[in-house]
Chains A and B, each alone.
Chain A
Amino acid sequence: MSEQPQNEAIVRCEEIEQFAVLYACDELDPAVRAALEAHTAKCSVCAALLSRETRLHQQIASFDQPADSLDRSGLVLAQCRSQLAEALDDEHSHASQPGWRAVFSPVAWWTVLRDTLVYHPAMSMAALVVAGFLAGVAGQRLRITSPASPRPVMTVSAAPKLTEQQLQSAGSANIAWVTPSGSRTPTVQVQLMSQAPMNIVGAPEDADVQRALTYVLANGQRFDSSVRMDSLEVLRTRCADLEVRRAVCTAALSDRNPGVRMKALEALQGFEQDSTVRQTLIGALHNDGNSGVRVEAINLLINALRSGGSSGVADPNILAVLGDRLRNDPNNYVRLQSAAALRQLDAGGLP
């Protein structure tokens, strides 16, 4: 460093370390950059420092970033988007229900009552005892004061069946698993909000419960995604039913929430031989913008091809979609799986 550089006023040997960092990061003004290059052309020590800094920068640039390995398939991004959509739905539903309207909402009252009972068990037990006592006293008085009458007439009527019109007028729903006292089998409680709110309680295989949940799924645009998710959770064991399966297929193809679409595809597992299910898988693989959904679709489709023997090979739609995905899918996993499936089909079927 004995040489005195020509541009000493701008670049001095003792400053070279910091200048070198900025040089390597392309953060120097052109004039300073030129002065630095002129200086290092004459000063071998500074030239070595600059060269080392440039190499360090190159090493950093070629370093395999954690994001490259942690989300190679894009699944984390898909999950993030799905969770954000859910959170935004929640925000939206909270914002769209003004306080004064909540006062008249049976759901809001039920929520407050339920939370109060859950979080204050002693108080809820005392309230139940008092309510029972009052009911008993009131009942006694009624029996004492009522005039003698002939044998009381008992009217038995069957619960009205859920009509199509009732379903069509339902706007929002609340679905919960409840375990009746004395029973070990949980039942599903579906509350449909409309002009006349409906409360349907029954096992998942109960016709009305199934019908209400299938309706929610098939008309997803009118219900929150959390409700659609809950419906799928209940119906996933009921896909043997044709109506349910059709609704799940509709959700897999057209639900606006990718989480719901993925869950719908999961629910279809085991029914890949059904032509409608297969068309659903092809449609999801070909058209869905979400890589997670496409990954789920190709996995199921390959399962279908494996279990279906040669029946899938003859389907030109499958070959066309696999070829298209192989060439055009932005997701590595989908491309690789498409290629593997096509290779196997060429060789005479999947093992």
Chain B
Amino acid sequence: MTITWSEDGAGNRAEGPAAGATGRALAAPDDRALIERAQAGDREAFEALVHRYDRDVLRIALNILHRPEDARDVYQEAFLKIYKNLHRFRFECSFYTWMYRVVTNVCLDHLRRRSSRPEDQAPETGLQARGDNSAGDFFDRQQEQGAASDPERRLLGLEIGRRISTALGQLTPRERMVFEMKHYQGLKLRAIGEVLGTTEETVKNSLFRATRKLRVQLEGLL
């Protein structure tokens, strides 16, 4: 058994999140060969599958849970479930959809557990917590330098970011998941329905509700 870490294993993405996710959902022609090898007990093949998709998985977990330690738990729990249940995958849907179903269920469980414990709410994200003059880390400062030349625009951007974060905090776990997969993973509503095990119509309604909450929060800024 050998673990081979790919050269791009640094967590950097060559493509945008939406493009990457959609592309993978449609393409990945050699998934089948890898899956069949992994189902036969080939660890390397399973790890190759993990490395193909785990950036998106971690990204979803971080975006939804806002805490690296929770995201790590979700990552581990989800991929262990996938490893133990891979023999049940029958190629009736794409591997991407099947995997996302597992991941979203684990994420939803975490969100539900968290919402039942008010003392265990997610911390503010960098954008929420970062005030106008807060230092942030080195990379944050690098990013902000461009906008610093237009203070008014920067302030408006910060305010919009804060309000979007507030609105996202008000969404139900399912709405949050739909919002994430639509806007940041770039999945089509039908694919989201498949992942969540529901109809496209239900997903649409969740998206409408989520958008309405965002619109209310951003009233007067758009």
Contacts and interface: CB of A to CB of B under 8 A. Distances in A.
A59 B160 contact: yes
Interface string B58-70: 1100110010100
B126 A64 contact: yes
A256 B2 contact: yes
Contact of A74 (B10, B50, B160): B10
B4 A289 contact: yes
A182 to B, nearest CB: 41
Interface stretch (A87-95, A146-154, A167-175): A87-95
A81 interface: yes
B203 to A, nearest CB: 10
A79 B72 contact: yes
Nearest to A70: B62
Q: Interface of chain B, helix or strand or loop or mixed?
A: helix
Contacts of A334: 10
Interface string A59-91: 111111111011111111111110111011001
A55 B211 CA distance: 12
B164 A84 contact: no
B214 A60 contact: yes
Interface residues of B, number: 57
A25 interface: yes
Contacts of A18: 204, 208
Most buried by B among A17, A74, A329: A74
A178 interface: no
A70 B55 CA distance: 13
A200 interface: no
B91 interface: no
Contact of B59 (A67, A73, A88, A289): A67
A27 interface: yes
A179 interface: no
Interface string B168-187: 00000000000000111000
A334 B80 CA distance: 31
Contacts of B6: 289
Contacts of A329: 10
A53 B161 CA distance: 17
B116 to A, nearest CB: 22
A54 to B, nearest CB: 10
Contacts of B62: 66-67, 70-71, 76
B9 A84 contact: no
Contacts of A91: 80, 83-84
Nearest to B61: A67
B45 interface: no
Most buried by A among B9, B55, B80, B157: B9
Interface string A258-295: 10000000000000000000000000000011110010
B12 to A, nearest CB: 4
A22 interface: yes
B72 A85 contact: no
Most buried by B among A66, A74, A81: A66
A52 interface: yes
Contacts of B83: 88, 91
Contact of A22 (B71, B72, B127, B204): B204
A66 B9 contact: no
Contacts of A70: 62, 66, 68, 71, 125-126
Nearest to A261: B5
Contacts of B11: 71, 73-78, 291, 331
B132 to A, nearest CB: 15
Contact of A64 (B1, B46, B127): B127
B76 interface: yes
B95 interface: no
Nearest to A91: B83
Nearest to A334: B10
Contact of B8 (A22, A55, A330): A330
Contacts of B99: none
Nearest to A89: B1
A84 B126 contact: no
Interface in B24-81: 43, 46-47, 50-51, 54-55, 58-59, 62-63, 66, 68, 71-72, 75-76, 79-80
Interface of A: 17-18, 21-22, 25, 27, 52-53, 55-56, 59-67, 69-81, 83-85, 87-88, 91-92, 256-258, 288-291, 294, 329-332, 334
18 contacts: A56-B214, A63-B161, A64-B161, A65-B63, A66-B62, A66-B125, A71-B58, A71-B62, A74-B9, A77-B9, A80-B71, A81-B9, A87-B80, A289-B7, A290-B10, A291-B9, A330-B12, A331-B10
Given A74-B9, A288-B5, 15 more contacts: A56-B211, A61-B183, A76-B72, A77-B55, A78-B11, A80-B54, A81-B51, A84-B76, A85-B3, A256-B1, A256-B2, A258-B3, A291-B10, A330-B7, A332-B12
